[in-house]
Amino acid sequence: MRDLQPVLRHIWQEKRDVLLTVLFGWVTGLAAVGLFTASGYLISQAALSVPVYALMVVIASVKLLGFIRAIARYLERYVSHRATFTILSRIRTHFFAQLERLSPVRLQRLLYGDLLSRVVTDVEALQHFFLRIFYPPVVLVLIFLATVSFTLYFSWWLALLLLVGLIMTTVILPALFHVLRQKREQTALEQQSQLSAEATELLFGFQELKIYRQLAEKERQFKQANDTLIQTQAQIQKHELLQQVADKWVGMVTGFAVLAVGGWLITNGQLEGVYLAMFLLLTLTLFEHTAPMAAFPHYFRENKEAARRVFSIGQQKEEERKQEEETCKPDNVVQVSQPAHVSLEGPVAIRFEAVSFTYPGEGRPALNNVTFEVPAGSKTAIVGASGSGKSTVLHLILGLEQASSGQILLNDIPIDQLQPEVIWQKTNAVLQEQHFFSGTIRDNLLADVEDDKLIAALRQAGLDTFSLDQPVFDQGANLSGGEKQRLSIARVLLRQGQLWLLDEPFSSLDYPRAQKLMAQLLDAARDQTFIYVSHHLSNLDMMDQIVVMDEGSVQEQGTYAQLMNKRGMFYRLKQVEQDALNDR
């Protein structure tokens, strides 16, 4: 039940509609049972040639119960579906909020096909939780309690038969068939996730698969996964049909048992014969309400697994955070406080104080006891080999990750006291991974300004030949690597942030163009804080300071001249780069 607790919390937020649904469902069930019970009594009395005027109350009751049943059924369906759609909306919003908190590094570890399966298939599966799991047992128990109480007034033998039939259809049969198909249902869920992953990889990797002649093999794997899932689902459906037959059989057997016991009671003078048809119709109608319980175990298991997959992202991050707090030293542990500051005023000053960070599942820390300071309005370069922790520094500044220990301050405010949106609004960021949307160049500039300013930004970024209405394919498939980087630069030139974070912004550009764009960005950032991350060491003499990183630690920092005169790591890296350029 732990996996379903988040769903129950979302349901409880709609408690008004939930209670109304239970009420209308109970009234509908009682009206249906009462309708057929009264009809059975009416038929028996009519067979005895009772005068019509003596049956007027029963006839009116039948009509009234039919009317109440119809109205209550409509209200029950209306309110229950309204509650379901609202609950689904809350779950989807919660799921995307959890995704938003994931850093790009953690998000990339999830298979896109599996992620698509979670947000579509698993969320859709949760619509059955209220309608098929939570609501039917509650209503069924209430209807049975009322019906058994009514039957007890006439005979405890008949009430006992109804109770035995209830246990058979709601407990024994569902448990039995659940055991029979439990393994197949788990297999079907895994196969469905695998099929989504195969389909996504086939679509997104079509070009590479075609080039390397692996398309036919990938299509064969996709078809095999699809056929296997269909076979598993067919086997599950056979068990469902068999359970429905068994459920109906128990209902009919209980009806015949009521008929036989009722005849015996009439023979012994313990029950009037006019009630026999009434109890037969009561039994048959009552067991129609047990039909949803046949599918209860299937929906319960499906929703439990769907809830685990939908809510596991947020739960994993929370567990990782708790584990980090437990494993860190008491003096260095990060105390997470409620964000209290809603703005950052002026140019941003940044200070790292003994900051360490380890990605989940990795033994080696990405950052280890990192300390440095970026004065407000200064220009700082962070350099080092690939994997030295440069990008992680930017992720921590943006609030995409949380330090395991140490402290990060922006304008002397601890970063955990700032809402991430406040930081993002203040920042002009070009990260290594940029997303491009299917649409036009105008759509992908992500700025609601006049066309003249959009065109000026494109011109500054070296995209003079681009028009605003030029199409952009999904993920920028029709753009080269250099065009994507320049379009990303055009985006930040249109923003009004005062903190510039650039992560390898020119890696796909030639040196002259990169040098020109660097000068333009520095000019645009004049009195603003500017952090440039790169493993290339050219143009760094324009920086106020350089931070040299290696294996997650700061090795050196200072101005370009200071580091060159020091002849330390930066000097050696510069010499290696210069030798490589001379060999070309």
Residue 515 located in a structural domain: yes
Identity at 365, one-letter amino acid code: P
469 SS3 class = coil
Domain boundary among 294, 313, 332: 313
Do residues 380 and 528 both lie within one domain? yes
Q: Which of 298, 313, 328 is the last residue of a domain?
A: 313
Dihedral sign (CA 23, 29, 35, 41):
negative
- Give the domain-ending residue among 313, 337, 370: 313
Backbone φ, ψ for residue 481 (5° rounding) = -60, -40
Instruction: Give the chain's residues under pLDDT 50.
Output: 323-325, 327-337
Contact 108, 360 (CB under 8 A): no
Question: Domain range holding 560?
Answer: 350-582
Predicted local distance difference test score (pLDDT) of residue 528: 92
CATH assignment at residue 515: 3.40.50.300
DSSP state of 198: H
Same-domain pairing of 219 and 308: yes
Three-state secondary-structure class, residue 358 = coil
Any bridge partners for residue 530, and if so which? 379, 500
**Alpha-carbon separation of residue 50 from 36, 53, 293, 335, 410 (angstroms):** 19, 9, 40, 83, 91
Q: Looking at the domain assignment, is residue 330 inside a domain?
A: no
Residue identified by tokens 């896109």 is 112
What are the Cα distances from residue 183, in Å, to 121, 129, 307, 337, 423? 20, 21, 18, 45, 48
Q: pLDDT tens digits, residue range 473-487?
A: 888 888 898 999 999
Kindly state whether residues 287 and 421 are assigned to the same domain.
Answer: no
- Could you tell me if 435 and 296 lie in one domain? no
Q: What is the DSSP string of 203-233?
A: HHTHHHHHHTT-HHHHHHHHHHHHHHHHHHH
Strand ranges for 300-418 from DSSP E: 350-357, 367-374, 379-384, 405-410, 413-414
Dihedral over Cα of 140, 146, 149, 154: its sign: negative
Q: Are residues 366 and 290 in the same domain?
A: no
* Residues 307 and 372 occupy one common structural domain: no
263 and 357 fall within a common domain: no
Domain-embedded: residue 342? no
CATH classification of the domain holding 173: 1.20.1560.10
**HEC-encoded secondary structure of 113-159:** HHHHHHHHHHHHHCHHHHHHHHHHHHHHHHHHHHHHHHHHCCCHHHH
pLDDT value for 396: 92
Cβ atoms 299, 132 nearer than 8 A? yes
d(CA 525, CA 502): 12
In terms of domains, do 228 and 359 share one?
A: no
Residues 108, 202, single domain; the answer is: yes
Query: Judging by DSSP bridges, how do beta strands 427-430 and 439-440 pair with one another?
Result: unpaired
Residue 331 lies in a domain: no
Order of all β-strands in the sheet with 529-534 = 427-430, 499-503, 529-534, 379-384, 545-550, 553-558
Q: Mark whether 74 and 220 lie in a shared domain.
A: yes
Residue 321 domain flag: no
The neighbour count for residue 540, using CB atoms within 10 Å, is 21
Task: Look at residues 172, 168, 152 and name the one whose alpha carbon lies nearest to residue 160.
Answer: 152
pLDDT at 111: 61
Structure-token pair, residue 424: 């993002």
Which burial class, exposed, middle or buried, applies to 99 when counting CB atoms under 10 A from its CB (0-12, 13-18, 19+)? middle
Q: Nearest to residue 306, comparing CAs of 133, 476, 149, 548?
A: 133
The set of residues, in sequence order, having a beta carbon less than 8 Å from that of 48 and lying 6+ positions away, is: 274
Question: How many structural domains comprise the chain?
Answer: 2
User: Could you tell me how far CA 22 lies from the centroid of its own chain?
Assistant: 28
The answer on 575 and 451 residing in a single domain is yes
Question: How many CA atoms are closer than 13 Å to the CA of 31, on its beta-carbon side?
Answer: 18
Q: Where does residue 9 rank: exposed (0-12), middle (13-18), buried (19+ CB within 10 A)?
A: exposed
| Domain presence at residue 324 | no
Q: What is the largest CA-CA distance in the chain?
A: 119
In a domain, 367, yes or no: yes
Residue 29 sits at φ, ψ, to 5 deg, of -65, -45
- Asked whether residue 192 falls in the same domain as residue 114, the answer is yes
pLDDT of residue 582: 65
Q: Is residue 341, in this structure, part of any structural domain at all?
A: no
